[in-house]
Structure 1
Amino acid sequence: MKKHSLLGRSLVTLILLGCLFGAAVTAGCMGNSAEPEPEDPTPEATPGAYTTYSPAGPKPSFSASVTTPEKHMRTDGSCYWIVTGTVTNDGDGPARNAVIRFMLIDDESNMIRATETVLAPRFQAGETKIFTVNAFPGDCDRQYHADIDITHDIP
């Protein structure tokens, strides 16, 4: 039995020596070189990259103004604000699906308190539209201002 046990120890020793030798041989292959590789001063074109161009021709362009929110009281003692906004397509082309987003913004925290969205399916070049939001909810003891954000599709 002692021969078996001695043979097993020898086999384990040989395996461990082989692992140590393999680790020593590959250790130099894993490190970084002392000098960094020089960078190519001219960037190469990325395969599959493309450039996006805006469509040629007339395009819509919007400007907007909004009134100061007017505070109103309900019979239950709660408050609401009324805001009127004027939106003009100053561009030389019409817009489709213009989304006019009214925002009631808290003056102290500068956080949006409420929003109302109006859709204008067609908005011709040079056209001006007036929208009124009649029931922005808000707290009676807060001060607010309004803003407008406009997005649209190009026909």
Structure 2
Amino acid sequence: MAVRDNPYSAFNFLVKLGDGGGEDQIAGGFSDFSGAGNTIKYAEYRNGNDRQNHVRKVANVNSTEDVTLKRGIVGDLRLFEWIRQTRAGNFQPRTVTVTLLDEARNRVCEWVLQQAQPTKWVGPTLAAKGGTDLAMEELHLVAESIDFRSL
């Protein structure tokens, strides 16, 4: 990733939900990707003979935050089918890759979720008012780890 004065825009990205054991890769025009993060937990430790009266912080386990993907409903049922298969006990963890693009659509960096699985699907809110809102679906994913790569 090149160092630059202005930050990259957040509206130009690609999402790929890698194969889940023989399933087709799902790539789509998602409008939102949010929640990516990692938390490291620390244990407090102090030797009984330490001269300093404070504890040390020792890195312990880490956990990956749940992520949310949103997109307009386009008739592609593969996301919901993934949820259906998971509900039925047919677990299909996937590698999810989110690639940030620059203004010229060159790849800049990627977030890679390993062993991602669906945890929640939310359908659209339908309301007969002004008629300007889009029918959106939302997919929440859990993952075992997240990595960040500069390209």
The TM tier, using the shorter chain, reads under 0.3
The structure with the largest strand share of the pair is 2
The structure with the largest helix share of the pair is 1
Question: TM (normalized to structure 2)?
Answer: 0.27
Question: TM (normalized to structure 1)?
Answer: 0.27
Task: Flag the structure with larger Rg.
Answer: 1
Identify the structure with bigger relative contact order (alpha carbons < 8 Å, sequence gap 6+): 2
